[in-house]
Amino acid sequence: MAIWAIGLMTGTVLDGNVDIAMLRTDGERIEEFGPTLLAPYRRDIRPLLKETLAEAAEWGFEGPEPEIFAEAERALTIAQADAIAAMMEDEGISAEDVGVIGFHGQTVLHRARTPERLGATRQLGDGQLMADRLGIPVVYDFRSADVAAGGQGAPLAPLYHRALLRRIGAGEETAFLNLGGVANVTWVAADGSMQAFDTGPANAPLNDWMGRRLGAEMDRDGVAAAKGHVDEARLASILANPYCVRPYPKSLDRNDFSAAMAEGLSTEDGAALLTAVTAGMVGRALDLLPHRPTRLVVAGGGRRNPVLMREIAERAHVEVENADALGLRGDTVEAECFAYLAVRSLRGLPISFPTTTGAPEPMTGGRLALPPGRAQPAPSELTDGF
């Protein structure tokens, strides 16, 4: 039976917001879309998270965690819980109406697996604190079990991308591309099997570049990139990176391809180059798939950048279509995804697969935090909410 779930996502792009979305699902089909909210953090949280990311990069999974992690984890958990509470009050939704919350948390560091070592990942988010604060069960820490078993821990969105592609009746000619801090693609074969991986950087390097040069959050509408010229020789050198041809499954940290790729260029030329890098790496990624798609359904913040969308179409030789034009919600796909995965976790269904994260077998994931006085629903007892 489908239940109402709330999903949360705050990406590595650090735009100062948390995405919240409700979904009624049984973890297999999307029954109904519910309310959404883009909730800005308090002003003090974004600088705290940026400092936390910087310390995480220096830490590199060596030695004890930086002390700032605990401060940031509590602050962002409370901020996201309060944002949920505000949305529920505005929509007239009670805690009893919601079966589960899928709390992704803030990724501060992600290290992909290599032949020599297991990967590692760290998302900040106190699921028990959120459950206690809202009185709703919370599933969190979605990636750790996959990583510990030898998977990449990412991407986790392919299952939900598959559900969305089925909802719009797409076939093998269409893949799903999400442009967040990092870009990831999902392609679904006729038999339902999925191929998915991180294609390369998306918004994170460009946003960092604009922040460093102009103090801006992003290259809004691609204005800077449109004025710049792409250094094709430098672009070709970047696209020669072994990651572009490495067999998947594979995943990236936001720092693996950074704004340093544009060092020495003007603001506009740097924006143009970083935009072209994202597009070029999408093209290289599509070449790796068993069947090269001719159309991409695009979600995430990057779809709002018309220069990036045009560059992907031209450099990847593919039709690009904004998810919104197909009746989907391009801004909240990732938040919806973690609502969907939380329900799967409650039901004990897999959330990662050998062809998505490289896990040794289909794997369940996520940790469950229950508020006082509320029991975990058995899979057979999942019922409709509000």
Asked if residue 82 and residue 139 are part of one domain, the reply reads yes
Residues 248 and 346 in one domain: no
The pLDDT of residue 385 is 47
DSSP designation for 41: P
Residue 121: per-residue pLDDT: 92
Its pTM stands at 0.90
Domain that holds residue 92: 3-155+334-381
Residue 230 lies in a domain: yes
Instruction: Please indicate, yes or no, whether residues 113 and 184 belong to a single structural domain of this protein.
Output: no
Burial (0-12, 13-18, 19+ Cβ within 10 Å), 167: middle
The pLDDT, as a whole number, for residue 383 is 46
Given 281, 303, 326, the domain boundary residue is 326
- Do 312 and 347 belong to one domain? no
For residues 114 and 182, state if they share a domain.
no
Q: Does 343 lie in the same domain as 212?
A: no
> What are the residues whose beta carbons fall under 8 Å from the beta carbon of 355, sequence distance 6 or more?
193, 194, 195, 196, 249
Q: Which of 309, 326, 343 is the last residue of a domain?
A: 326
Q: What is the pLDDT of residue 377?
A: 62
Whole-angstrom distance, CA of residue 353 vs CA of residue 151:
9
19 shares its domain with 123? yes
pLDDT of residue 380: 47
Question: What is the phi/psi pair of residue 219, to 5°?
Answer: -90, 80
Q: Profile the chain (386 residues) by mean pLDDT over runs of 10 residues.
A: 94 77 97 95 89 95 97 96 97 96 94 85 96 98 94 92 96 96 95 95 96 95 98 98 94 91 98 98 98 97 97 98 97 96 97 93 97 70 48
Q: Is residue 130 part of a domain?
A: yes
The answer to whether residues 349 and 319 touch, using CB atoms and an 8 Å cutoff, is: no
What's the N-to-C CA distance of the chain in angstroms?
14
Sheet strand arrangement including 319-322: 194-201, 182-188, 174-179, 295-299, 319-322
**What total number of domains does the chain contain?**
2
56 shares a domain with 203: no
**E strand or H helix that includes residue 297:** strand 295-299
Of residues 3, 10, 137, 2, the one with CA closest to residue 83: 10
Q: The domain that contains 81 carries what CATH number?
A: 3.30.420.40
Same structural domain, 107 and 241: no
Is 161 inside a domain boundary? Answer: no
The 3-state DSSP class for residue 122 equals strand
What pLDDT does 378 receive? Answer: 55
Return the exposure string of 18-57: e unless at least 16 CB atoms fall within 10 Å of the residue's CB, then b: bbbbbbbbbbeebeebbebbebebeeebbebbeebbebbe
Q: Can you tell me the distance from the alpha carbon of 121 to that of 134, in angstroms, rounded to the nearest whole number?
A: 27
Distance CA 358, CA 21 (A): 28
Q: Determine, yes or no, domain membership for 163.
A: no
| Domain boundary residue, one of 326, 355, 372 | 326
Is 306 inside a domain boundary?
yes
What is the per-residue pLDDT for 361? 96
Confidence (pLDDT) at 71: 97
> Quick check: is 98 in a domain?
yes
The answer on 202 and 132 residing in a single domain is no
Residues 177 and 247 in one domain: yes
**Residue 117 resides in a domain:** yes
76 and 207 both lie in a single domain? no
Question: Is residue 160 in a domain?
Answer: no
